[in-house]
Amino acid sequence: SIIALSEATMDALQLFRGDTVLVRGKKRKDTVLIVLADDELDDGSARINRVVRHNLRVKHGDMITIHACPDIKYAKRIAVLPIADTVEGITGSLFDVFLAPYFREAYRPVRQGDLFIVRGGMR
């Protein structure tokens, strides 16, 4: 997922577009995100999607902390488990239909314990 920041905030944090950051929310929850610039945001504000807010246990207006994470390692293997009620009635290979298109040729940082939404037939 991504985090959108203003150019001034990115400059203050010495971040560039595409950098990977560790973002901390409430209850010691954290995740890794990719930085993008958004000129519509006020300085000191960040935009994250609903799934990221859920992973961080934060709501609109809550404080988060952002730390540069330049030494993130590439995983050789990850285990992705579906939430049971989201795959009821789906037949076929979940990997081929959902996960392979989601991760193929895309830099998608993941953190242990994170939830994320994958839609079928992603490009």
Token pair belonging to 29: 């929850």
Q: Is 91 helix (H, G, I), strand (E, B) or coil?
A: coil
Determine the Cα–Cα distance for residues 45 and 4; give it in Å rounded to an integer: 9
Give pLDDT tens digits for 25-80: 998 899 999 999 999 999 999 999 999 999 999 999 999 999 999 888 888 888 88
Residue 65 has, within 13 A of its CA and on its CB side, a CA count of 8
CATH match of 2-68 with 2.40.40.20: yes
What is the CB-side half-sphere exposure of residue 36 using CA atoms within 13 A?
A: 10
Q: What number of CA atoms fall less than 13 Å from residue 77's CA on the CB side? A: 1
pLDDT, residue 122, reads 46
pLDDT on residue 108: 86
> Per-residue pLDDT for 123 more than 50?
no
